[in-house]
Amino acid sequence: VDDATITTNVDDAVGRATSVFAHWRSVPAPRRGEVVRHLGDELRRHKDALADLVQIEVGKIRSEALGEVQEMIDICDFAVGLSRQLHGLTISSERPGHRLAETWQPLGPVGVISAFNFPVAVWSWNAALALICGDTVVWKPSDATPLCSLATTVLARRAAITAGFSADVCQLVFGDASIGRALASDHRVPLISATGSTRMGRLVAPIVAERFGRSILELGGNNAAIVAPSADLDLVVRGVTFAAAGTAGQRCTSLRRLIVHSSRVDEVVDRIGRAYTQLRVGNPMSSDTLVGPLIDEKAGRAMTAAIEQAVAEGGRLVVGGERCLADAAPDAAYMRPAIVTMPRQTEIVRTETFAPILYVMSYETMDEA
pLDDT (tens digit, 9 = 90+) per residue, 320-335?
999 998 888 888 999 9
148 is catalytic: no
CA distance 193 to 191: 7
Q: Which of 5-14, 24-33, 349-358 has the lowest mean pLDDT?
A: 5-14
CB atoms within 10 A of CB 82: 17
218 is catalytic: yes
Question: pLDDT (tens digit, 9 = 90+) per residue, 231-240?
Answer: 999 999 999 9
Q: What is the pLDDT of residue 329?
A: 87
The alpha-helical segments, DSSP class H, found in the chain are: 10-24, 29-45, 47-58, 62-82, 121-132, 146-162, 177-185, 198-210, 233-245, 265-277, 297-312
CA distance 195 to 201: 8
Axis crossing angle, helix 121-132 with helix 29-45, rounded to the nearest 10: 150
| Domains defined for the chain, CATH in brackets | 3-218 (3.40.605.10), 223-363 (3.40.309.10)
Secondary structure element (H or E) that encloses residue 317, with its range? strand 316-319
Catalytic residue among 34, 64, 218, 352: 218
> Pick from 224, 208, 227, 228: which is nearest to 216 by CA?
208
Secondary structure element (H or E) that encloses residue 157, with its range? helix 146-162
Catalytic residue among 71, 252, 267, 308: 252
State pTM to two decimals: 0.93
Question: pLDDT (tens digit, 9 = 90+) per residue, 30-73?
Answer: 999 999 999 999 999 999 999 999 999 999 999 999 999 999 99
